Amino acid sequence: MSSAETVPPANLAALVHSDELARFDYGDDHPFKPLRARTTLELCARYGLLDGPGVVRITPEAADPGYLERFHDPAYLAVLRRASGGVHDVAALARGIGTEDCPVLRGIWEFCLLATGATRACVEAVLDGTARRAFSLVGGFHHAFRGRAEGFCYVNDVGAAIEDLLARGRRVAYVDLDAHHGNGVQDAFYAEDRVLKISLHESGATLYPFGGAETELGAGRGFGFNVNVPLLERTDDEVYLEAFEALVPPLLAAFRPDVVVAELGVDAHVSDPLSHLRLTSGAYYRLVQRLCAVAPRLVGLGGGGYDVFRAARCWTLAWAAMAEREPQDGYAGLVGGMMFGSENDGLFDRPAPTTGPAKERAQAEARRVIEFHRRSVFPRLGATPP
């Protein structure tokens, strides 16, 4: 029996963060804003979620480059390190560095090491009994491949963490809630039956990275261990939650992972400028609550989210779910205060249901994908529909 199952957790949840991560700047015109993490912490403090029994905060250290080599080609890492010093050449461009998505950024190497160190600290926290769940706000760079950068992601901290867990003999489930398909993670573990990969995302017909079809089921011994749930534009809370409940809990129950690694990207939110889904913050709260209920150990990683203030609200609720805390607004009833979206809305959005033919199409497509996986994946894993 693994130590993940035998060490009793000292706390419900660990929040892993360094403000150095939040200070890193991709540039004024780039949509990825690490400062979202600082905004989230301010909201968590406002709602009384950072202190008290069952909660611990961890300041991460930079990962050793060798940790990244668990996942990445060392030759690629050498190119990334040079680019971090300002070298912009053909070798970097061939590896995806120097594009609009992944520009040459001074200090990106150190940023990647620290972000990966934060993810590693989450893994250590859930394995050594520090906490049952751990959350890194600046993590989840799921688009990077073993040998190239892609989609705002220069390294794949998720992949490095999964490789670490596999080397320790753990069974890993990866659940990706980001609006964008986790292509880098899928590619790396496509033929692996020790990793169950489940990704709910906007269809590749309308959104980068333009893949992630339900028919991508894995290869070799990993066939049936790759589960994609592409969703149509305007998919709302009701449709998304139905798809999640129909697939994620029964598949996790059948697979019986030691650790669940979750990409908690919040760019499926109705306000996000880079996707076309319609989730509200309340949906994220319920999704993370359900993950906490079914995961023996949970590593949560921030992922995408490009409406800074709405992302902060969603992650504040995600943290509240992990810590099993009821958010209490110490500023309620006061004039002024912090502006996180509308100051009168609190953390929970107003309902934003899709109606009419768009809703009917989204629901019909989600149900078609659910039935496809019940026929193709459930028998392979021995899963039982709810």
Q: Which residues are catalytic?
A: 143
**Is 111 strand, coil or helix?**
helix
The token duo for 43 is 């909201």
**Is 233 strand, coil or helix?**
coil
The token duo for 75 is 């030759």
Contact call for residues 18 and 31 (beta carbons, < 8 A): no
Please give the backbone phi and psi of residue 201, each rounded to the nearest 5 degrees, phi first. Answer: -155, 165
The token duo for 288 is 């993370």
Q: Report the amino acid identity of residue 295.
A: A
Can you list the alpha helix ranges (DSSP code H) found in the chain?
3-6, 19-23, 36-46, 65-68, 74-84, 90-94, 108-127, 157-167, 183-188, 237-255, 281-294, 308-323, 356-376, 378-381
| DSSP secondary structure of 269-292 | BTT-TT---BB-HHHHHHHHHHHH
How many beta carbons lie within 10 A of that of residue 167, not counting itself? 9
Q: Distance (Å, rounded) from C-alpha 233 to C-alpha 317?
A: 24
Q: Distance (Å, rounded) from C-alpha 371 to C-alpha 243?
A: 10
Distances (CA, A) of 239 to 67, 174, 234, 313: 39, 21, 10, 21
Question: Which residues contact residue 121 at a Cβ distance below 8 angstroms, ignoring those fewer than 6 apart?
Answer: 16, 58, 60, 61, 134, 136
Contact call for residues 74 and 132 (beta carbons, < 8 A): no
How many beta carbons lie within 10 A of that of residue 30, not counting itself? 15
Closest CA to 365 of 219, 249, 205: 205
